[in-house]
C-alpha cells in the first residue's frame, strides 16, 4: 500500500459550530488532522497516511513561520522518503491559493502536493470537507498527478497553483482558475488530468527561508486615490510594492506622480490588476518607474513572488527573469 503524508493547518475543514445548521458562525481550526482522517474511513483502504499538525488556525491567521515550517517539512519528507507517494495539506480557504503558489515556487519534486479545504465547517449538514479530503488523497496517489506541481482539489475540480483563486464567499464551488480553467477533475471513475506538457524551471527551489521575511505592501488602485499611503510606505522603507492597478494594471497619474517625486531608494515593484482575470503586460512608461508586470498573477500571488525574490536577493533584472520563468 502506498504511503502519504497529511499536514494539517486548520481552517474551515477543521472548524466547528454549535449546531449542524450553522454555516457561517463557527470557529475554524478546532479539529486536529487525526479527527479529519477518522471522519473518512474509506481513506484506510487507499493508503497508509501519517498525520502531522503544522498549525490549527483560521487561514487568515497564518504566519510566515507556518509557511516556513510547511516548506521545510515537505522538503525533508521528499528527501528522506523515496517511497512517499505525495503530500496532502488541509488548509483554510481564505489564503489557500497563496500557500499553494508559495509551495509551487519552492518545492521541486514530481510527486504531488495537494491542498484541500472546505467551505462548510465539519459540524455542518452536508459538510463538504470529508469528500474534498477523500478526493484530494485520490489525486495525491494518482500517477496522473505526477509532474503537475502543486494542486488544489475543491468540489471535485483539480486546479493548478498559479491560477487558482477563491472567487466566492459562500457555496462549495468557491474556487476557479480564471484564464485557464481547472486542470482536471476527480470523481467515482478516478482522476482525470491531461498529460504534463513540459516542466518549467524552478529557480527558487533551493531557497533557504529566513526567520524574518521582508515586508511587501499591496496598494489598491481606485478613483481619485490618496497618495499618503504610498508616501508613508516609501518613507517607512518597505522593500516591495504590488500595485493592484485598474484595467490592465494601470496606475493613475496621481500614483505615478507620487513615485516620480520620491527621492529615496525604490523598492522592487510589480503591477497586477484588480479585474480578477487577464494578464498584465510590460509597459515602457511604467518600466521607467521600476514597475514590472506580474503577468497572470493576482495581487496576493504577486506579493508571494516578490517576497521570495527579496529573500533571494534579486534586483530588478533578476525579478524580471523570475516573473518570466514563473
Q: What residue ranges define each of the domains in the chain, with the CATH number in brackets?
A: 3-193 (3.40.50.1170), 216-325 (3.40.50.40)
Residue range 179-185: average pLDDT? Answer: 95
Neighbours of 134 (CB within 10 A): 18
pLDDT given for residue 194 in this prediction = 87
Q: In the predicted model, is pLDDT for residue 199 greater than 90?
A: no
Residue range 44-62: average pLDDT? Answer: 97
pLDDT given for residue 200 in this prediction = 79
Of the pLDDT bands very low, low, confident and very high (cuts 50, 70, 90), residue 195 is confident
In the residue annotation, 12 being an active-site residue is answered as yes
Catalytic residue among 9, 12, 90, 95: 12
Tell me what the pLDDT averaged over the chain comes to: 95
pLDDT given for residue 197 in this prediction = 66
Of the pLDDT bands very low, low, confident and very high (cuts 50, 70, 90), residue 287 is confident
Distant-in-sequence, close-in-space partners of 32: CB < 8 Å, separation ≥ 6:
8, 14, 51, 53, 56
Of the pLDDT bands very low, low, confident and very high (cuts 50, 70, 90), residue 261 is very high
Coil vs helix vs strand at 48: strand
Cα torsion through 254, 240, 260, 251, rounded to 10: -30
Cβ–Cβ under 8 Å, residues 106 and 308: yes
Residue range 149-170: average pLDDT? Answer: 97
Of the pLDDT bands very low, low, confident and very high (cuts 50, 70, 90), residue 90 is very high
Q: Convert 78-112 to b/e letters by CB count within 10 Å (16 or more is b).
A: beeeeebbbbbbbbbbbbbbbbbbbbbbbbbbebb
Does the reported pTM lie above 0.95? yes
pLDDT given for residue 127 in this prediction = 97
Amino acid at each position: 500500500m502506498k504511503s502519504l503524508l497529511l499536514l494539517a493547518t486548520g481552517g474551515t475543514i477543521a472548524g466547528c459550530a454549535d449546531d449542524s445548521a450553522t454555516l457561517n458562525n463557527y470557529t475554524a481550526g478546532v479539529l486536529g488532522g487525526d479527527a479529519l482522517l477518522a471522519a473518512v474511513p474509506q481513506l484506510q483502504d487507499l493508503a497508509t497516511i501519517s498525520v502531522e499538525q503544522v498549525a490549527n488556525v483560521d487561514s487568515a491567521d497564518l504566519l510566515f513561520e507556518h509557511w516556513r515550517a510547511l516548506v521545510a517539512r515537505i522538503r525533508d519528507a521528499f528527501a528522506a522518503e523515496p517511497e512517499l507517494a505525495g503530500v496532502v495539506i488541509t488548509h483554510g480557504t481564505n489564503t489557500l491559493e497563496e500557500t499553494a503558489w508559495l509551495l509551487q515556487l519552492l518545492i521541486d519534486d514530481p510527486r504531488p502536493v495537494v491542498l484541500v479545504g472546505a467551505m462548510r465547517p465539519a459540524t455542518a449538514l452536508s459538510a463538504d470537507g470529508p469528500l474534498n479530503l477523500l478526493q484530494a488523497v485520490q489525486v495525491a496517489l494518482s500517477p496522473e498527478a505526477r509532474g503537475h506541481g502543486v494542486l488544489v482539489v475543491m468540489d471535485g475540480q483539480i486546479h493548478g497553483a498559479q491560477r487558482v483563486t477563491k472567487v466566492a464567499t459562500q457555496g462549495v464551488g468557491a474556487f476557479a482558475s480564471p484564464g485557464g480553467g481547472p486542470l482536471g477533475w476527480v470523481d467515482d471513475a478516478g482522476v482525470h488530468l491531461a498529460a504534463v506538457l513540459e516542466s518549467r524551471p524552478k529557480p527558487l527551489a533551493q531557497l533557504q527561508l529566513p526567520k524574518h521575511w521582508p515586508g511587501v505592501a499591496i496598494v489598491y488602485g481606485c478613483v481619485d486615490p490618496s497618495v499618503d499611503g504610498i508616501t508613508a510606505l516609501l518613507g517607512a522603507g518597505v522593500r516591495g510594492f504590488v500595485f493592484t492597478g485598474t484595467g490592465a494594471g494601470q496606475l493613475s497619474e496621481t500614483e505615478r506622480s507620487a513615485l516620480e517625486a520620491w527621492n529615496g531608494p525604490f523598492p522592487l515593484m510589480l503591477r497586477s490588476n484588480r479585474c480578477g482575470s487577464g494578464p498584465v503586460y510590460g509597459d515602457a512608461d511604467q518600466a521607467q518607474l521600476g514597475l514590472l508586470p506580474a503577468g497572470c498573477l493576482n495581487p496576493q500571488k504577486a506579493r508571494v513572488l516578490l517576497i521570495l525574490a527579496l529573500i533571494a536577493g534579486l534586483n530588478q533584472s533578476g525579478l524580471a527573469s523570475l516573473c518570466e520563468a514563473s
